[in-house]
Amino acid sequence: MPRRSSKLSDRSNRHDRAYRQAKNEGYAGRAIYKLQEIDKKYRLLRRGSRVLDLGCWPGSWMQYTVTRIGDEGYLLGIDLNEVEIPLPANVETIVGDVDDWQPPLDNPFDVVLSDMAPHTTGDRHTDQFRSEELVRRALAIAQRALRPGGHFVAKIFQGGEFPAILRELRGTFQEGRAYHAKNTRSSSIEQYLIGRGLKTRITE
């Protein structure tokens, strides 16, 4: 089963500048700087927002999000692995599989985040396909979990289905685009999909 999270302890990350910076600043992972960069550019997170974080382990995106939504906001994270870092009282985490989990329909979210990634196999096409499937699942959850006008961010390893997924994103949101974060290695096929303004929420 693919992993729904990034991993700070990966060997490829251990001597990375962003890794060292995250460790020195007390963050659970280097990915915090990517979300920070995206949020500063697109202004997705606001004080009082309700946020859903898919693939939330080890918790760096949650650490950033709570600084933006404040005590008035609410943050729910879900991952196959338990988040072990301390988080404030307005944050909840669920250990579970996003393929089986269904979002509550009675209290929609303002933002859905997904930093989910598969366990890499070394086969580029397999890894891209698994990443694209995770993004499609995240997008399906977002259509049910978000309020109309809500926003979406998801990591993707760009592969053959990327154009089709980008079209799906643009059909779902008023604004949809791909973004290559500056904190991403230049050799990486990693992109982030940004959806702003959900057009229609699925409630069935």
**Residue among 41, 155, 182, 199 flagged as catalytic:** 155
Q: How many Cα atoms occupy the beta-carbon half-sphere of 33 within 13 Å?
A: 18
Please confirm, yes or no, whether 41 is among the known catalytic residues.
Answer: no
| Distance in angstroms (rounded) separating the CA atoms of residues 16 and 114 | 22
Alpha-carbon torsion, ordered 133, 156, 135, 84, to 10 deg = 110
Bridge-based pairing of strands 173-179 and 190-198 is antiparallel
Strand partners, 78: 54, 94
The catalytic residues are 155
